[in-house]
Amino acid sequence: MPQLATLLAQAGRQTDPLTGAISTPIYQTATFAHPAVGESTGFDYTRSANPTRKALEDAMTAIEGGVASFAFASGLAALSTLICLFNQGDHLVVAEGSYGGTYRLLDQVFARFGISATYVPVTDTAAFAAAIRPNTRALLVESLSNPCLAVPDLPALAQLARDNDKLFIVDNTFLTPYWLRPLDLGDGLGADIVVHSASKFLAGHNDTIAGIVSVRDPALAERVGYLQNAVGAVLAPQDAWLTLRGLKTLALRLDAQQRSTLAIARWLQTQPQVKHVYYPGLEDDPGHARLQTFASGFGSVLSFELADNAAVARLVEGVKLIAFAESLGGVESLITIPAVQTHANLSAEERLRLGVTDTLVRLSLGIENADDLITDIATAFSLHK
């Protein structure tokens, strides 16, 4: 099996024997002609399968180490389809500090269909255990919490899920398979399902919305594949191609992004305006040691506390290189205020409990020069001392 960097660079190669095209063709077609009655080229209708989407799905299967992958129109389309695995009356245990849209999907949409969720502190494996009920079907956790980057004990949660015969679903958007492959957490343990918002690191250029699911078990893969076609929230061919294109440079981008993130996190720690920096790559971060037991990197998102609301507004309005925009993982650096953007749909009490104060700022670092990014932030800080 080739190394991950090789799989990534060659994602989608050798998918066009007709011409030998190096880049996967974009099969912009809704339907496919049949050679004869009872015969198929393997493709009938693009909702069911499309060659460009399949090239992406096959690449992700090799990269994640699963048996099958499925590409969706967005991360939330992927999650919605996964929740359709469950029935009325089923229950999920979900990590606190999950993506805001995941809370909204569960509490405002699927709750109406009788699927309930209990949220527990992401670092507290015992709380997950205590929240399991007879009707619990799955544990759902993100590789790092959002926006404070707390580190779950994924191997312990995988063990807990196995011991209790529950599905273990990991949203690996924040670490990507370059740093973490949740389907294989060692000792035969792993997630049953990994899900990504490919809109973030995988596509990587702040230009595409996409979702990916990879599955470890063939019977489960069959059920997810059935739902992908039945629900129909599939990724379009052009966006599948953009996501494949993004994968090719994932290793290079993430190495550069992580290097900058660590440099900027250390610099922020020395700034009098900054009260606290959350980043598991920092040696004094509470998740630093734990994350290294199952992942090979720390990501390129950090967050930090400023003194007051005015300082937050001055920073996000003062930066010029860094865009004041939500999202993360792309080549361009972005800054957000989680309390009013990504986490606005949580209640004020819930936000406070999760550490999402009004003075918390989240930074996603891109591939710009790190010194330029530091100068940008320093200028915004000093403009209004």
Ligand X SMILES: *Cc1c(COP(=O)(O)O)cnc(C)c1O
Question: Site for ligand X (CB under 6 A): how many residues?
Answer: 15
Of 173, 257, 260, 273, which one interacts with ligand X (CB under 6 A)? 173
Closer by beta carbon to ligand X, 200 or else 248: 200
Q: Beta strand pairing status for 136-142 and 91-95?
A: parallel
Contact yes or no for 257/373 (Cβ under 8 A): no
For ligand X, the binding residues in 111-150 under the rule CB under 6 A are 142
Beta strands in the chain (DSSP E): 68-72, 91-95, 116-120, 136-142, 167-171, 193-197, 211-215, 274-278, 301-306, 323-324, 334-336, 360-364
Q: How far apart are CA 276 and CA 341, in angstroms?
A: 20
Is residue 314 annotated as a catalytic residue, yes or no?
A: no
Of 57, 64, 90, 171, which one interacts with ligand X (CB under 6 A)? 171
Q: How far apart are CA 105 and CA 95, in angstroms?
A: 14
Of 8, 55, 60, 76, which one interacts with ligand X (CB under 6 A)? 76
Contact yes or no for 304/277 (Cβ under 8 A): yes
Q: Dig out the tokens for 346 from the structure.
A: 């949580």
- Residue 271 main-chain phi, psi, to 5 deg: -90, 130
Residue from 146, 149, 168 nearest 157 by CA: 168
Closer by beta carbon to ligand X, 72 or else 381: 72
Q: Return the DSSP state at 234.
A: B
Closer by beta carbon to ligand X, 148 or else 274: 148
Q: Dig out the tokens for 63 from the structure.
A: 């990269």
Q: How far apart are CA 376 and CA 385, in angstroms?
A: 15
Residue from 162, 347, 335 nearest 154 by CA: 162
- Report the nearest approach of ligand X to the CB of residue 382 (Å): 32
Check binding of 362 to ligand X (CB under 6 A). Answer: no
- Report the nearest approach of ligand X to the CB of residue 180 (Å): 13
Contact yes or no for 215/193 (Cβ under 8 A): yes
Contact yes or no for 201/144 (Cβ under 8 A): no
Binding mask 35-74 for ligand X (x = CB under 6 A): ---------------------------------------x
Is residue 13 annotated as a catalytic residue, yes or no?
A: no
- Report the nearest approach of ligand X to the CB of residue 329 (Å): 8
Is residue 107 annotated as a catalytic residue, yes or no?
A: no
Strand partners, 217: none
- Report the nearest approach of ligand X to the CB of residue 374 (Å): 25
- Report the nearest approach of ligand X to the CB of residue 268 (Å): 22
For ligand X, the binding residues in 197-226 under the rule CB under 6 A are 197, 199-200, 209, 211
Closer by beta carbon to ligand X, 121 or else 318: 121
Strand partners, 305: 276, 360
- Report the nearest approach of ligand X to the CB of residue 206 (Å): 12
- Report the nearest approach of ligand X to the CB of residue 147 (Å): 10
Q: Could you say which of 153, 171, 192, 285 is catalytic?
A: 171
Contact yes or no for 330/176 (Cβ under 8 A): no
Q: Could you say which of 47, 162, 259, 275 is catalytic?
A: 47
Is residue 54 annotated as a catalytic residue, yes or no?
A: no
State the Cα angle at 192 between 281 and 236, rounded to 5°.
Answer: 85
Residue nearest to ligand X (CB): 75
Closer by beta carbon to ligand X, 180 or else 274: 180
Residues that bind ligand X (CB under 6 A): 74-76, 99, 101-102, 142, 171, 173-174, 197, 199-200, 209, 211
Return the active site residues.
47, 99, 171, 200
